[in-house]
Structure 1
Amino acid sequence: MEFILYLLLILLFTKLAGDLSVRLGQPAVLGKLLVGILLGPAVLGWVQPGGFIHYMSEIGVLLLMFIAGLETDLRQLRENWKAAFAVAVGGILLPFAGGFAIGEWFGFADYNSLFLGVILSATSVSISVQVLKEMDRLNSPEGSTILGAAVIDDILVVILLAVLMSFFGTGDNISLSLLIGQKLLFFAVAVIAGWLTVPRLMRWLAPLRVTEAVMTAALVILFAYAYFAEKMGMAGIIGAFAAGIAIAQTPFKQVVESKVEPIAYTLFVPVFFVSIGLNVSFEGLGSHILFVVVLSMFAILAKWLGGGIGARLTGFNTRSSLIIGAGMISRGEVALIIAATGLASGLLLPQYFTGVIIAVMVTTLVTPPLLKGMFR
Structure 2
Amino acid sequence: MLILQLAVILIASKVAGDISVRLGQPSVLGKLLVGIVLGPSVLGFVTHTEIISELSQIGVILLMFIAGLETDVHEFKRTGKASTSVGVMGIVVPLALGYGAGLAMGLSSIESVFLGLLLSATSVSISVQTLKELGKLSSKEGSTIMGAAVIDDVLVILALAFLMSFTGGDINLGMVILKKIAFFAIIILVSWKVVPWALSKFAALKVTQSVMSAGLIICFLFAYFAEYTGVAAIIGAYIAGVAIGLTNFRDEITHKVETIGYSLFVPIFFTSVGITAQFDGIGENLWLIVSLSILAIASKLFGGAVGAKLTGFPWRNSIAIGSAMVSRGEVALIIAAIGLENQLLTQDMFAVLIVVVLVTTVVTPPMMKFFFSEKGSRHDSLALKKNA
TM-score, normalisation: structure 2: 0.94
Question: Take 2:304 and 2:140, find their aligned partners in 1: how far apart are those partners?
Answer: 14
What is the DSSP-based 3-state SS (H/G/I as helix, E as strand, rest coil) of the residue aligned with 1:26?
coil
Equivalent residue for 2:232, pick from 229, 232, 235 = 235
Contact 2:165 2:173 in 1 (8 A): no
Shift of 1:189: 1.2
1:75 aligns with 2:51: no
Question: Take 2:266 and 2:342, find their aligned partners in 1: how far apart are those partners?
Answer: 30
- What's 2:199 paired with? 202
Equivalent residue for 2:338, pick from 341, 345, 351 = 341
What is the DSSP-based 3-state SS (H/G/I as helix, E as strand, rest coil) of the residue aligned with 2:184?
helix
Q: Which amino acid aligns with 1:117?
A: G
Contact 1:85 1:148 in 2 (8 A): yes
Question: Take 2:213 and 2:192, find their aligned partners in 1: how far apart are those partners?
Answer: 20
- What's 1:270 paired with? 267
The count of residues paired between Structure 1 and Structure 2 equals 373
Moved more, 209-218 or 62-71: 209-218
Shift of 1:175: 2.6
What is the DSSP-based 3-state SS (H/G/I as helix, E as strand, rest coil) of the residue aligned with 1:250?
coil
1:285 aligns with 2:282: yes
Q: Which amino acid aligns with 2:152?
A: D
1:326 aligns with 2:338: no
Contact 1:100 1:117 in 2 (8 A): yes
Superposition pairs for residues 1-376 of structure 1, below 5 Å? Answer: 2-168=1-167, 171-172=169-170, 174-376=171-373
What is the DSSP-based 3-state SS (H/G/I as helix, E as strand, rest coil) of the residue aligned with 1:41?
coil
Q: Deviations over 1:176-229 (max 9, x none)?
A: 232222112111111111111000000001121112111101011001111111
Q: Which stretches of structure 1, 4 residues or longer, exceed 6 Å deviation after superposition? A: none
Moved more, 175-184 or 46-55: 175-184
Q: Which amino acid aligns with 1:230?
A: E
Q: Deviations over 1:277-330 (max 9, x none)?
A: 122111111111111011000100000000100111111111111111011001
Contact 1:96 1:118 in 2 (8 A): yes
Shift of 1:111: 2.2
Q: Which amino acid aligns with 1:37?
A: I
Provide the alpha-carbon RMSD of the alignment: 1.0
Q: Which amino acid aligns with 1:87?
A: V
Q: Deviations over 1:70-90 (max 9, x none)?
A: 000011111111110110111
What is the DSSP-based 3-state SS (H/G/I as helix, E as strand, rest coil) of the residue aligned with 1:354?
helix
Question: Take 1:48 and 1:166, find their aligned partners in 2: how far apart are those partners?
Answer: 36
Q: Unaligned 5+ residue runs, structure 1?
A: none
Shift of 1:109: 2.5
Contact 1:17 1:35 in 2 (8 A): yes
Question: Take 2:87 and 2:16, find their aligned partners in 1: how far apart are those partners?
Answer: 32
Contact 1:112 1:349 in 2 (8 A): no
Question: Take 1:166 and 1:41, find their aligned partners in 2: how far apart are those partners?
Answer: 37
Shift of 1:335: 0.9
Shift of 1:231: 1.3
Question: Take 2:278 and 2:85, find their aligned partners in 1: how far apart are those partners?
Answer: 35
**How high is the sequence identity, in percent, across the aligned residues?**
54
Shift of 1:129: 0.5
Q: Unaligned 5+ residue runs, structure 2?
A: 374-388
Shift of 1:110: 2.4
Question: Take 1:29 and 1:235, find their aligned partners in 2: how far apart are those partners?
Answer: 22
Q: Deviations over 1:42-101 (max 9, x none)?
A: 111111112111100110000000000000001111111111011011111111111112
What is the DSSP-based 3-state SS (H/G/I as helix, E as strand, rest coil) of the residue aligned with 1:330?
coil
Q: Which amino acid aligns with 2:76?
A: L
Q: Which amino acid aligns with 1:225?
A: F
Question: Take 1:44 and 1:107, find their aligned partners in 2: how far apart are those partners?
Answer: 37
Question: Take 1:48 and 1:109, find their aligned partners in 2: how far apart are those partners?
Answer: 36
